[in-house]
Structure 1
Amino acid sequence: MNKVFSINDDEFIRGKVPMTKSEIRAISIGKLELEEDSKVVDIGAGTGAISIEIASIIKKGKVYAIEKKEEAVELIKRNRSHFDIRNLEIIKGLAPEDLNNIDKIDRVFIGGSSGNMEEIIKWAHEKLSDRGKIVINTITIENAYKAINSLKQNEFKDIDIVHVNISKGKSVGDLTMMIGTNPIYIISAKR
């Protein structure tokens, strides 16, 4: 399990908690433009898939994973142990209020906002370093719209929006049928 990037979905301990799939993780993490000593916050961390993958890349950096649901927090702990990740701190709570003890950071990933998108983006603008970057994944048009507007209001630069549709092959007898997954908006911007 010493992979540097692109951990297979089936390697994670799952439960009933939503997980960002490997193809979406690859694009989202790529958009973060990580450095080996980056300080990263993963908001709405779910199973911890994004946090685990980032932590495995930034060996000299640190990842803070914040998640409000107890079941998800336990899964993140189990996955952290499963992948022997040592630079991941788990915070049980709600963003942004439970992140006030974190100083300057380099990257923010938002996978879930619990309705606090505008407040989280404002917090990110205050906490991000000068070369900081934010990446937001949303599945709804409304949240994409809120995120883009909030990024503009907080004077983020180079706002980029990618709409990703992934289909995966499934065997149907001796044929292969493509099954679509939920489309995702991946929004990135620089401070």
Structure 2
Amino acid sequence: MNRQWNYAGFGIPDSYFIRGKAPMTKEEVRAVVMGKLRLGQEDIFVDVGAGTGSVSIEAALKLSTGKVYAIEFKEEACNLLEANKAAFDVKNLEILKGRAAEEIRKIKGFHRIFIGGSTGEMMEILDETGDRLLTGGRIVITAVTIETLHEALQGLKARGFQEIEVVSIGVSKGRSTGNYTLMEAQNTIYILSATK
């Protein structure tokens, strides 16, 4: 099935993606993440902990002559990545199956990287990123816990990243209950961004 997204803006609805139990960066957070990445048409982009591939798909649709590497080690998530790649018919998306630090070593250089999941390997991923992210490149990291936020922030500072910014996103969505609409809060997400 070919899923068309014919709009210039970011924020493909979550319902467009084939979902399973794998994590997914939700629509509203994804729109902010994509804005912080500042993608160029020819960029090489790396998505670490790609999950269902929502960020990878958004990036692939914007990079007319660039390329996306989606890194994921969980089997179910890799299957969902493949399914969403086919559903959106993106040709410039390559799925790398394995642990992030090892897979990043296979990419000679890249312009942008998003870390949506580190599975306890944040420092190793940041070390590899520091070696391969091109000068002027952007890194964006999402965190749902204060511990991950702290670790990522300290890691960026220790590696000399510039223009470090932290944003906290709190999203509530309306849910109909008969004649009324209740606003249900989602988890607060921390978004870190920086430039090499």
Report if TM-score (shorter chain) is over 0.5. Answer: yes
Q: CA deviation at 1:120?
A: 0.8
- Name the TM-score, length of structure 1 as normaliser: 0.98
Q: Percent identity, please.
A: 48
In structure 2, the partner of 1:160 is 165
Which one-letter code corresponds to 2:111 in the other structure? D
Residue 55 (str. 1) matches residue 60 (str. 2):
yes
Please show how residues 169-188 of structure 1 align to structure 2 within 5 Å.
169-188=174-193
1:1-191 residue pairs with structure 2 within 5 A?
1-3=4-6, 4=8, 5-191=10-196
Q: Which segment drifts farther, 3-12 or 116-125?
A: 3-12
Shift of 1:2: 3.6
Once residues 101 and 130 of structure 1 are traced to their aligned partners in structure 2, the CA distance between those partners, rounded to angstroms, is 18
Q: In the TM superposition, what is the alpha-carbon distance from 1:118 to its structure 2 partner? A: 0.9
SS at match of 1:96: helix
For residues 19-41 of structure 1, what are the alpha-carbon distances to aligned partners after superposition, in whole Å with 9 as ceiling and x for unaligned? Answer: 11100000001000000011000
- Count the aligned residue pairs: 191
Q: If the length of structure 2 is used for normalisation, what is the TM-score?
A: 0.96
Amino acid at match of 1:186: I
RMSD between aligned alpha carbons?
A: 0.8
| Alpha-carbon shift at residue 123 of structure 1 (Å) | 1.1
CA contact under 8 A between 2:71 and 2:100: conserved in structure 1? yes
What is the SS of the residue equivalent to 1:75?
A: helix
Distance in 2, matches of 1:23 and 1:177, equals 18
The gaps in structure 1 that reach 5 residues or longer are: none
Distance 1:2 1:168, change over 3 A: closer
Q: Cα offset for 1:101?
A: 1.4
Distance 2:38 2:103 in 1: 25
Deviation string for 1:65-102 (max 9, x for gaps)? Answer: 00010010010000000000000000110111122110
